[in-house]
Chain A
């Protein structure tokens, strides 16, 4: 009888040990971050810039449209210029949106070309905006996406009689893209703390698995 009682108590101890191990394992598992991010985008309402449409998920937008949105974002970051030295300093620094969306080679080349240009434009109080000028496509025999663009450059600030200078060109972009968000940094933590519009940190475009490996610029005129 005593032997059986000992066996029973030993079993209880075994169960208790198993439960303890279970909680220990859970605690170790919990100590690592495991998050998933569902991204919602405003579907722009054509009627009013101030009246957003219904949010849609990244999955609903689809891979093709997402890639196009990211390419457009990249082209904007590449070219736009405003008369604000802090803006230019932030964009040309390591850690900028373009830095995260480019390979080091592409970013360094940009710094030496368009980076210099937008710095000079900001000093001269000029403004430049960019629009995608037609369809973004990839020829079947090429690794490069063809991105036609048009630049509007205002050369004279505070002159309401001056119209922008219009320049057209094409970017050839070797792009990598995969659905979902990057796992190389803590996206959840970044999203949680980065949405103060008065202190913008990293732009949310950088959380996606998108980057430019190679880039060539062709000016049409």
Chain B
């Protein structure tokens, strides 16, 4: 030994191979520990997967439970052109149905039954037969037989009904398709003495030949009830 110039003298011949084995052992063990850690991480990650919370609404008319939207996002109401058009037809119709005016000419315009379907297609908004042009033949016959006599009596007695436009709420009942659907209407009508709270169901159907002004949409059935 030439100390200090050369002091790298193996003191134990097998030392180097033992050190290599030890390093490999530690490396492999570390590898397995890493794998076990990754397993834990994976299980934790998978178990934390969940659906975003959903907002449900309950109550309302006939206790309807509805899914408003996934809780993570802002609720969006998407309506097709046909749905908007149907809602608009219902909107106009309920105002005509529940109007009794002190002006006889206006009442005549609403209740006139002298028009044919072709007349309805060509007339503008101020022309007669408004209810007839918005409804099916069956519904208009029901109107004439069961509703109109009461309306005429009220008008003859000088009474008037005024729909309160801001109170009208229209919502779908069941499926609304291109061919139509049923809509629920909640509204208030002032009858000269008090407000009448009304709920109604309007069935919209489509017949493009007979009702071209509304892309064929018309009121096929209408049933209203006074709530209070």
CB contact list, A167-210 vs B, under 8 A: 187-188, 191-192, 194-200, 203-205
- The count of residues in chain B whose C-beta lies closer than 8 Å to any C-beta of chain A is 67
Q: How large is the interface on A (under 10, 10 to 19, 20 to 34, 35 or more residues)?
A: 35 or more
The closest CB in chain A to the CB of B143 belongs to A158
Binary contact track B43-78/A, C-beta < 8 Å → 1, others 0: 000110111011111111111111111110000011
State whether the Cβ of B158 lies closer than 8 Å to any Cβ in chain A.
no
- SS of B interface (majority): mixed
State how many angstroms separate the Cβ of B37 from the closest Cβ of chain A: 11
- The interface centre, meaning the residue of B17, B68, B78 with most chain A CB atoms within 10 A of its CB, is B68
Q: Which of A7-15, A103-111, A140-148 contacts B (4 or more CB under 8 A)?
A: A7-15
* Shortest distance between the CB of B190 and any CB in chain A (Å): 12
Q: Whole-angstrom distance from the CB of B157 to the nearest CB of chain A?
A: 14
**Nearest B residue (CB) for A187:** B51
In the complex, A98 has a CB within 8 A of chain B: no
B42 partner residues in chain A, CB cutoff 8 A: 22, 26
Q: Cα distance A14–B226 when bound, in Å?
A: 79
B222 is an interface residue with CB less than 8 A from chain A: yes
A11 to B28, CA, bound (A): 7
B3-11, B172-180, B206-214 - interface stretch: B172-180
Instruction: Tell me if A160 counts as interface (CB < 8 A to partner B).
Output: yes
Asked if B176 and A198 sit within 8 Å, CB to CB, the answer is yes
What per-residue 1/0 map shows which CB atoms of A22-60 lie under 8 Å from chain B?
100010011000111111111010000110100101000
Chain B neighbourhood of A196, CB < 8 A: 78
Could you tell me if A158 and B51 are in contact, using CB atoms closer than 8 angstroms? Answer: no
Q: From B27, B51, B57, B67, name the one whose CB has the most chain A CB atoms within 10 angstroms.
A: B67
Q: Mark B129-158, 1 if CB is under 8 A from A, else 0.
A: 000000000000011001100100000000
Listed by A's residue number, 16 A-B pairs whose Cβ atoms lie within 8 Å are A8-B24, A11-B27, A15-B28, A29-B46, A34-B47, A36-B51, A38-B54, A40-B53, A41-B57, A82-B62, A82-B201, A87-B174, A127-B199, A163-B226, A192-B70, A198-B175
The 8 A-B pairs of least Cβ separation, nearest first, read A195-B67, A157-B223, A76-B63, A38-B53, A154-B225, A83-B223, A80-B62, A188-B51
